[in-house]
Chain A
Amino acid sequence: MSDTSSSQALKDFISETEEIIGTLNYDLVKLADAVETGDCDPDVLNGIFRGAHSIKGLAGMFGFDDLSSLSHAMENLLDGLRLGKVPFTQPLVDTLFSSLDVLIQLIDGKSNDENFTLDLVPILALIDQSAEGEASSAEDPLAGLDIDPGILNVLTEYEEHRLLENIRKGRAIHLLRMDFELSSFDQELAEITEQLKQQGEVVSTLPSAGEIGERIAFQILFGSELKRSDIELLLSRDDLDISTCGRADVEMEPEGFVLEEPDARPDTAMATLERLPAAVEEVDAGSSMRSISRTVRVDIDKLDLLMNIVGELVLSKSSISNIGDRIKASADKELATELAKATRILERRLHELQKGVMDVRMVPVGQLFDKMTRIVRRVSNEQGKKVDLDIRGADTELDKLIIEDVSDPLMHIIRNAIDHGLETPEERRQVGKPEKGHVQLWASQKGNHVVIEVHDDGRGIDTEGVRRKAVEKGLISEGQSLSEEEIYDLLFMAGFSTRDEVSDMSGRGVGMDVVKNNIAALSGMIEVKSTQGQGSSMIITLPITLAIIKALIVQVGDKTYAIPINSVLETLMIDADVIQTVEKREVIELRKSTVPLLRLNQVFGLDSEEEKTDEKRLFVAIVGLAEKRMGFVVDELLGQQDVVIKSLGKALSFVQGIAGAAELGNQKTILVLDVAGLMTEALRGESSLNV
């Protein structure tokens, strides 16, 4: 393997393991819920086992011995659990979560440095301890069963175990035979499996021997309380052939089928594993089966490249329509009309292409929320707090890159909500709240933005405490009077933290100032609401995508800037006379509300045409983010245009008030304003930025 192909393989490895971990995490949460109720869905458990198993195989191929031995230990433990050899208990689930945490740290580390490793001795010891009580079943438990040996021979050890479990529950074992069109057998089987699962357990699906022609036959091994006639009714297929062994049709005691169990199992394991699998709410076996062959994993860099090309195309199109306008003015009118028509068609198609590429980048925030459930679990365990997490809007879609970049800030906010927001169960009882704290994680789409809200029903923000702390830290002076909003803003200032320690998230010390900067870098904004004693909310507003945006192009002095159109509410032409000054701030009256103004020429230290020419006419772009409004005063409005935002790179990321650079059609590069940043700075009264 060459270096490039091995680094590509490593990337594939990381992205596949991340995907597996996402599923593992989701399933582990389900499993954890099952400990309380005692119902353990064999599909969920088997899914977790398969996840650990896959990671082990992959890690082995890459020679990651640490990862391999950890996933191997997890796999063993899970195998014991699914084969009923290890009891299903809360400590066991905790061990699995801890193992997953270490697994994630390992993979995270390796994604930066292949040689990264961790001391695995403690976690391996913990797993070993949980696996105690493992006893191997020496004898062949299925030897005497009256099922076609041809079928028993193709069952994996796990499927054998599930078969046995079904028999032990006194269920009848049915063998269903059906044949299907070759073109649609997978969909049909998925649907049938789904129907059957509501009534029992599908132990295995087997293709029947024979030539594959237009049709293909399958057998389904199905354990259920249902009688043969019930199944015929349920599936209502003419070609259905059922043979049955077991209680429902043959008059025989269930014990007749149960062979001597060689190992005496702990009661707890029996109690939990023997329950019927609950009809799972989201039966998605069918859809997940299909999705494997219907989805493609794509490197985000490739999508970026496509997006850039689309962006360039959009720009070329602008040049063409400019040329068209010039031809119209000077020469052949007919030709100009033709060109305009062709350009419009091109524009429409381009728009579709742009939308298509954009859609591909969109992923549901559910991916992100799954991660958060783990954080909630971990932090609440650490803190000895009980937390109920309510997730809504998990299917809201956001650009993949934004999802990735908002992950750390969101993690931090959630951690804070539990850490600082929620009271201990004891404290909650005393103030008459239910012991279990409530954290809500909601996402919704509002126009071109996605709003992510984190609410908790904890103690709320102690404004007086925050004030005192800020005075202590020298961020404000003793007598300074601050509005509630201004006090919340203090939380986001560098050097402020209500506890003396900065909470340690994934090994990095992060303060709320970093959270805010990260969100601002995504052209997003964060708002705080809180009621003392009742809880607080953090509301993050993010653009759906960053790649191509419509922008309002404005002129200030001799410079041109772009304002993202999704933050522009309206544009006004005003006389300089209508500007009033309130508390040293310039404001205008707009439909009975007062809107503060920000003169961009002052912000960026430019000469304004207005000053030079004494002209009294001004242009104002009213911008808004969340509930805040502000008017940006500019010299000229030059019109709307699609722009492709390019990052300024790390070197210039400190420049305040600028979100990035954009290219205009005429090869000119202009700066894109960071509306959220400018507004916040201005409202704080620090319009001393310089570019």
Chain B
Amino acid sequence: MSKKILIAEDSLTMRSLIVSTIAAMGDYDTVEAANGFEALRILPREKVDLIITDINMPDINGLELVSFIRNNESYKETPLFIISTEGSERDREKGMALGANAYLVKPFAPDQLQKLIREYLA
């Protein structure tokens, strides 16, 4: 079974771009959440091998999602990337301190994301 990647991102276009970047790799399935709450719903339902989250979402923020995942026995080892618009250095530091494995700045280069995914899911 191919490995599954959860994408939490509230912009439909951005989400589609991430999905198509992953689809181009051919090896992975994706599951999409339009906000943090949806991501929380999906986590217990699906076996997810990697999580990609935005920081600015309308309900819970991406940092809270990272913290939740890292403090949860079931997902604490799941690789997690933050993709956010370049902005607050503080938010970035916090994200990494909370245990994100990588922080990508939008607009990200597709091959950069693909490289990271291969690195963590190989």
Contact = CB atoms under 8 A, between A and B. Distances in A.
Interface of A: 1, 5, 9, 12-13, 16, 50, 53-54, 56-58, 60-61, 63, 68, 75, 79, 150, 153-157, 159, 182, 185-186, 189, 204-213, 216, 288-289, 292-293, 297
B64 A204 contact: yes
B97 A153 contact: yes
Given A53-B56, A57-B14, A289-B37, A156 B61 contact: yes
> Which 9 residue pairs across A and B have the least CB separation, nearest first?
A60-B107, A209-B71, A212-B44, A57-B106, A154-B63, A157-B88, A61-B107, A57-B85, A16-B13
A653 B20 CA distance: 41
Given A154-B61, A156-B61, A157-B90, A57 B11 contact: yes
Contacts of B11: 16, 54, 57-58
A282 B35 CA distance: 22
B118 interface: no
Interface string B34-63: 111110110110000000000110111101
B64 A79 contact: no
A578 B16 CA distance: 68
A12 B35 contact: no
A150 B60 CA distance: 15
A156 B44 contact: no
Given A211-B74, A288-B58, A292-B34, A150 B67 contact: yes
Contacts of B87: 53, 75, 79
A153 to B, nearest CB: 6
Interface string B20-34: 100000000000001
Contact of B17 (A9, A54, A205): A9
B56 A216 contact: no
B98 A153 contact: yes
A473 to B, nearest CB: 49
13 contacts: A5-B20, A9-B13, A54-B11, A57-B107, A61-B17, A63-B107, A68-B107, A156-B55, A157-B90, A159-B61, A182-B44, A189-B37, A209-B71
Contacts of A61: 13-14, 17, 106-107
Contacts of B97: 153
Interface of B: 10-14, 16-17, 20, 34-38, 40-41, 43-44, 55-56, 58-61, 63-68, 71-74, 85, 87-88, 90-91, 94, 97-98, 106-107
Contacts of A297: 12
Contact of B61 (A53, A79, A204): A204
Contacts of A182: 41, 44
B67 A53 contact: no
Nearest to A218: B60
Contact of A154 (B13, B56, B64, B74): B64
A207 B106 contact: no
A206 B43 contact: no
Nearest to A187: B37
Contacts of B44: 182, 212-213
Contacts of B72: 209-212
